[in-house]
Chains A and B, each alone.
Chain A
Amino acid sequence: MQLLSSPIGKQVKIVEVTTDEKTKNRLQNIGVIVGSNVVVLQSNFGDIIVRVRDCRVAMNKDVAKHIIVEAQNEEITTDETK
């Protein structure tokens, strides 16, 4: 599933990042890497704001569609730091 189609407020886990190298590097620096848990907070015609490791990251549609995520167990939605 692409991150941009992830339901708002649900925690998901990043399984693959298929952007170009430069963008990938940028995402890494800001903490968005394979294995991170993220929650989509806002979706704006595909441009999204996600929460990752207690910070908010905004990204546009082109980035969001290259981040592949998988759904997580519902129970840990409230606390992704664990």
Chain B
Amino acid sequence: MKKSRQTRPSDIKVALAGNPNCGKTTLFNALTGATAHVGNWTGVTVEKLEGTYKDKKSDIKVDIVDLPGIYSLSPYSPEEVVSRDYVLSGDTDVILNIIDATNLQRNLYLTTQLLEIGMPMVVALNMADCLTANGERIDVKTLSQKLGVPVVAISALKQKGLKELMQAVKEQKGAKREGVSFISSGILKESVDEISALLDESNHRLFDSVKLVEGDKLTIQKYSSLAAQIKEIKDNNIQVKERYKGDFETCVADQRYQYINDNFSDIITSEKEKPAISKSDKADKVLTHRFWGIPIFLLIIFAIFHLTFSENLFYMSAVIPDGAFKDVNTFSSLFVDTEYEEDEEGNISGANSIKSPGVFLQGLVEELGELVNGAREVEDVVDDNGEAVLDENGEPMQEVVAEGGWIPRLLKDTPDWAYGVICDGILAGVFGVLSFIPQIMLLFLFLTILEDTGYMARVAFIMDRAFRRIGLSGKSFMPLLMCFGCAVPGIMATRTIENDKERRSTILLAPFFSCGAKSPIWYAFAAVLATTVGWNSELTVFGMYVIGILVAMAAALILKKISGQKGVTPFIMELPTYHTPQFKSVTIHIWQKLKHFVFRAGTVIAASTIIIWYLLNFNFKFQMVGEEASILATVGGWFEWLFKPCGFGDWKYIVAAVTGLIAKEEVVSSIEVLAGSVEDFVSLSGVTTAGVVAFMAFNLLTVPCMAAVGAASGELGSAKRTALAIVFWILTSYVVSMMIYLIGTYWWSVFIFAGVIAAIIVAAHFINKKRFAKKESELIKNV
């Protein structure tokens, strides 16, 4: 009984349409209980999402399709095409148009266009409560009368009015509604009527007529046979010729706004006079300042990294005396650094810094890992003379020094291979990944807060100038910044970039922005470099992000030169009003990201660690052998020569990097399986510091994880472009890591590389010049 109910098809199908950043995704989440990602900037929804609203009491079941945010139905970017095609396809019963009450006129611009389609429609008036809080009043009843469709005031965030909204949607199902246009009078009426007479009867006849008058390219293509008649009708409109210089597009937009202004400006009444400059504007005076904007942004980013990765919070060690924390108990040692050095005169240095929240949380998880999976340590028994004691079989006698964690203790009597596969294989790999979750979570938290406040949109604005120099616009900034979290949503968000060349370049650069899953690699190696060469681990991690950014800039410049692209798409972007981050939307976002990460640690990573462990402990004849003779060692060995110039021509390094294709966090867990710990991995391999840095850079820049490659392939749209992208990533990572190793080892090689790069740029410049000259001459010939 229950089952049949769940599989019952939905009663109603609804398309959710609205401006970007009007609370559309929030409403979708509230209605369907889904956890789609919401951000305070435009273009978060790039694909249509589907969900179902259910209400048991009233027995309403509604399928909801969340469309990308759009400003109008004149498609201009791919996301607008998706929305428009879907609304016009007639696949849905009702259009649900959500509008932001705090920005009514601009939102009604889309509404008046949707009304032209002859389909049942309901308007959800979001954030009406924000208006009343400001002492303003909104007349919902009049708005509904004037629009001719039901209007329901809701609060998507507080989940108010949703039931009433769905009730209204249900009532509209199957209702007949003729398309209504704002052009019921005025200078365009005649032209629209005449064109409409040429078209067949359909429920978007009026919509198409208006679009034909407007000169919408997609609609013109659809009615290409009528082109001559339409042109004649438009040419006959003398008024448009006089008042708008024959520019029908501007005329339609102007008339539409005029109509909205004339009819809807009295919907909102205010008791108080509005301040000329709002709080948001005041904040912008500083945050988007021409000199302070970028330094403030860099400071914020630095603070985020400091709170996440610093071993020395706020550089407090400058005021805390050396050795202050050297004798604290185990619990307190989670918060402070207890390690110190003592010189010959008994002077103590160190043990005087406080850990950042990120490092503290990471330590906590590591302690947990130790508790569960701490290794069982066995040593040979020695007598007083330091000689091994032999047992009755003549073998050295062994004793257990450390009992180890719960699992090793539980498994102490199991055979070696079972102990190995569980403790050294699965658990070591999974805990290796889990211990980085706190820091990734913090990083996500901060980025989400910045995004939710609306600051990120400002950052796109202040970064636009810099991006323009390397052939990208500020629009590329948002997708690339998302890549610091995860390259998959970042690559998908490139759809908001209208220019194809810019979009493809942005996708190619995406993996260079170190994603959350890569940070375990930096963190693990930074810790090793801190002990071996004394590098500040915070700076090492920060440095990896900087290398990624620098390489991305250089690559963007080279791509620009190669493609011979001229000019960058103009930057036009709406800036949302600043608001305090919403606890709910922030937690939803972080939870969603973490869930994904933990899920992967439990499935893909656990499974692949078993495979790696197998390949590492068995040979081709299925015999359990030492690592040096294993399958992985053999295959990896074949490629060692290739990576000698990069400084890490060691099969273990190659294997670790290859496993990164499954998921980047896999690199660390493979290392833990391969060598027990990252420290041993580095010290036993004999790879130099320059080689280690080159290896880190290789992992940063090479082909991203399969999930990201899949997303890129989807966005690039062809197998050929995807293959080229993969070649591009491999080449970049190989060349850059080679440069790092060689320059790090022989400083003078810097001149060789500088010369080669300059030669490439000059060559590309001349080749393009020739190419374009050829194209131009062909064009002239054809004319």
Contacts and interface: CB of A to CB of B under 8 A. Distances in A.
A24 B252 CA distance: 13
A29 B288 contact: no
A44 B462 CA distance: 8
B222 interface: no
Interface string A25-53: 11111111111100001111101010101
A23 B288 contact: no
Contacts of B290: 43-45
A25 B76 contact: yes
B462 A30 contact: no
B106 A31 contact: yes
A56 B575 contact: yes
B570 A58 contact: no
A47 B290 CA distance: 9
Interface residues of A, number: 41
Contacts of B249: 21, 24-25, 28
Nearest to A27: B572
The listed residue with most B CB atoms (<10 A of its CB), out of A22, A45, A60, is A60
Contact of B74 (A19, A29, A60, A62): A29
Contacts of A81: 265
B571 A55 contact: no
Interface string B563-574: 000000011111
Contact of B71 (A21, A30, A56, A63): A30
Contacts of A56: 280-281, 284, 574-575, 577
Q: Which of A9, A24, A45, A56 has the most CB of B within 10 A?
A: A56
A36 to B, nearest CB: 7
Nearest to B464: A60
Interface in B256-280: 257-258, 265, 273-274, 276-277, 280
A21 B215 CA distance: 11
The prevalent SS among residues of B at the interface is: helix
A2 interface: no
A55 to B, nearest CB: 5
Majority-rule SS of A interface residues: mixed
A79 interface: yes
Contacts of B522: none
B109 interface: yes
B648 interface: no
Nearest to A42: B288
A73 interface: no
Contacts of B109: 29, 31
B105 to A, nearest CB: 5
B253 interface: yes
B779 to A, nearest CB: 19
B250 A59 contact: no
Interface string B271-303: 001101100110011001110010000000000
A54 interface: yes
B570 A59 contact: yes
Interface string B585-615: 0000000000000000000000000000000
A27 B182 CA distance: 20
A81 B276 CA distance: 11
Contact of B254 (A19, A35, A49): A35
Contacts of B288: 42, 44, 49, 58
Interface string B726-740: 000000000000000
A77 B105 CA distance: 19
A68 interface: no
A24 B257 CA distance: 15
A45 B498 CA distance: 24
* Most A CB within 10 A of own CB, among B105, B253, B277, B474: B253
A34 B203 CA distance: 32
B630 interface: no
Contacts of B577: 56
A17 interface: yes
Contact of B105 (A29, A49, A54, A63): A54
A27 to B, nearest CB: 6
B573 A58 contact: yes
A26 B499 CA distance: 13
Interface string B448-479: 00000000011011101100100001100000
Contacts of A35: 254, 257-258
Contacts of A32: 572
B293 A44 contact: yes
B103 interface: yes
Contacts of A79: 273-274, 276
B72 interface: yes
B337 to A, nearest CB: 42
Contacts of B76: 22, 25-26, 29
Contacts of A55: 103, 106, 574-575
A29 B257 CA distance: 10
Nearest to B75: A25
Nearest to A60: B571
Contacts of B105: 31, 53-54
A34 B571 contact: no
A33 B260 CA distance: 14
Given A45-B465, A49-B461, A30 B254 contact: no
A17 to B, nearest CB: 7
Contacts of A9: 277
Contacts of B253: 28, 33
Contacts of B102: 54
Contacts of A44: 288-290, 293, 461-462, 465
Given A43-B290, A49-B575, A53-B106, A60 B465 contact: yes
**Minimum-distance CB pairs A-B, first 6:** A29-B71, A60-B571, A56-B575, A28-B253, A58-B461, A44-B290
Given A19-B570, A41-B277, A56-B575, 12 more contacts: A22-B498, A25-B76, A27-B572, A30-B574, A31-B106, A41-B285, A44-B290, A49-B288, A58-B457, A58-B573, A58-B575, A59-B572
30 contacts: A17-B250, A24-B249, A25-B76, A29-B109, A30-B106, A30-B572, A30-B574, A31-B105, A31-B257, A32-B572, A42-B285, A44-B289, A44-B462, A45-B290, A49-B461, A49-B575, A51-B281, A53-B105, A53-B106, A55-B103, A55-B574, A58-B572, A59-B570, A59-B573, A60-B572, A62-B570, A77-B276, A78-B276, A79-B276, A81-B265
